[in-house]
Amino acid sequence: MIIDHHPPAQKPDEASAPALWEFVRLADYRVPNPVGASAALEKWTSLKRLFRAGDREDPTPVKVEADLQMLSGARLQSLVQPIDWRCAAAALDLALADWLPDRKPLMPVRFVIGQPHCGHPEILAHWAARHRVHAVAAPSVEQILGGDERWLEEWPTSDRLWMLPNLEHCYLRHADGLGLVRRLLAHAVSGALGRGVIACDSWAWAYLQEVWPLPQPEALTLQAFDGPRLSRYLSDLVARENGGCLRFCNAVTGKEVHLACAPNESAVSPEINQLAVHSRGNIGVAWTSWRALLRSHPEQEQPARPEPDPKQDLSDAADRAVQRAKAVAPGAEIVWVCESVQEPPLPAEKGEGMAFILHALLLHNGLPVSVLPELLPQPEHRIASHLLQLQALGVVALAGERWQISASAYAVVREFLRRRGFLKDDF
């Protein structure tokens, strides 16, 4: 389907600020840094420390998390809508603007590298629809393990622009699973396949650099969503829904969490800055974490109660903070932001069997359960048991036929593997 409406990569009144969606070279990717925080916060795994550090005079939480309730599915959907990857496709257009019209470019193939949950297959699908580009399907497991050359022989004619949205599904970490992808990359970079765009998951890219180490300095990636970008993005979502009739407040301090366009990190609410740090700029992880933090109070579902007498002595610190929140947003609906991101726990085990499964899923951006016994030194029943245990904890999820690391668990799994010295991506 051809998309007629192309969302702009940035609004005209944002010309002075960096574009919200921007593709840059891999070397120019900038992981968000903590603002005014100690080095320990760089390894932060939840928002708990941050929320408690901002209001020393009121240590008592305004809202106890147990007293709050999850937003309904419909309400959550309206407040934090699914990411519209068409905007990122428009930004990719800008990044490829000089390369696209050149019929004989110096680089016949451009690579686009995406982190897990950053939507690179969706982005490339939208981009391909814009330009009527031929989308190439990944080979089957049998073709990969058999080194089936027919997959390459059926490539579109060299005079037609093509795109491969998931290089990570074109190989297997197996003695017989690398020959086909090596030939693909050699053919593509030499120009034998014509002009095209190849998208690849960041973990697979790190692995393939070891398998076929040809430098690609012009490879592109979506720039990190730092505090200002993330604040602007979340502000846009709220503006579409409720505008000034809605306020987000810290459930611990009662202070408003401002979602607005901000020129720099110092002007962004600290909660949003720290959410950007926690996600390492990964918009998919940040989006998932933000949704998980939002709560409402049961009283919001009931008729309004009389306002308390302003002359009443507020001896309790929590009562004072509640009144602060109401003063900030009189008559507005308050959405409470919880104190911590509840990341799925990883089960404790003595061996490295679970770690190997998690690493294999990341290196291929998901795998069918039938393939895992071919790649891992574990019996099939043990792998199945691990997967079911991880699924129950929310660490992995089944997407179609592929098991994948969930967005809510990605940060903790990445850190888990990093501490054990596993090969990881460069983000």
Task: Select from 342, 337, 343 the least CA-distant residue to 68.
Answer: 337
The reported pLDDT for the residue numbered 60 is 62
Q: Is 132 exposed, middle or buried (0-12, 13-18, 19+ CB in 10 A)?
A: exposed
Separation in Å, CA 297 to CA 56, 72, 317, 328: 24, 12, 19, 17
Cα Rg for the chain, rounded, in angstroms? 24
**Among 13-27, 71-85, 108-122, which range has the highest average pLDDT?**
108-122
The reported pLDDT for the residue numbered 21 is 96
Q: Is the pLDDT of residue 269 over 70?
A: yes
- The answer to whether 168 and 200 have CB atoms below 8 angstroms apart is yes
Separation in Å, CA 236 to CA 78, 173, 274, 315, 337: 12, 41, 19, 38, 18
Q: Please give the Cα distance from 180 to 30 (Å, whole number).
A: 33
Confidence of residue 125 (pLDDT cuts 50, 70, 90): very high
The reported pLDDT for the residue numbered 178 is 96
Q: Please give the Cα distance from 390 to 345 (Å, whole number).
A: 9
Q: Which amino acid is at 380?
A: E
Q: Is the pLDDT of residue 311 over 70?
A: no
- The answer to whether 337 and 251 have CB atoms below 8 angstroms apart is yes
What are 107's two structure tokens? 């680089």
Q: Please give the Cα distance from 281 to 327 (Å, whole number).
A: 33
DSSP states along 75-124: HHHHHSPPP-HHHHHHHHHHHTTTTTT-SS-S-SEEEEEE-TTS-HHHHH
**How large is the average pLDDT for residues 197-213?**
95
Query: To which residue do tokens 């048991």 refer?
Result: 385
The reported pLDDT for the residue numbered 282 is 97
What are 68's two structure tokens? 């709050």
In this structure, how many other beta carbons lie within 10 angstroms of the beta carbon of residue 229?
A: 25
Query: To which residue do tokens 């998901």 refer?
Result: 366
205: enclosing H helix or E strand: helix 202-211
- The answer to whether 151 and 139 have CB atoms below 8 angstroms apart is yes
Task: Select from 327, 248, 230 the least CA-distant residue to 32.
Answer: 230
Query: To which residue do tokens 């009662």 refer?
Result: 254
- Each residue of 261-282: b (16+ CB within 10 Å) or e? bbeebeebbbbbbbbbbbbbbb
| 217-264 tens-digit pLDDT | 899 999 999 999 999 999 888 765 555 578 888 888 888 888 876 566
In this structure, how many other beta carbons lie within 10 angstroms of the beta carbon of residue 295?
A: 17
DSSP secondary structure code for residue 41 in this structure: G
**Among 82-91, 324-333, 341-350, which range has the highest average pLDDT?**
82-91
Percent of the chain scored above 70 by pLDDT?
Answer: 77
Q: Is the pLDDT of residue 102 over 60?
A: yes
DSSP secondary structure code for residue 169 in this structure: G
User: pTM, whole model, 2 decimals?
Assistant: 0.83
Separation in Å, CA 267 to CA 210, 272, 293, 377: 42, 11, 21, 51
Q: Is the pLDDT of residue 67 over 90?
A: no
User: What average pLDDT is seen over the chain?
Assistant: 82
Task: Select from 256, 290, 253, 244 the least CA-distant residue to 83.
Answer: 290
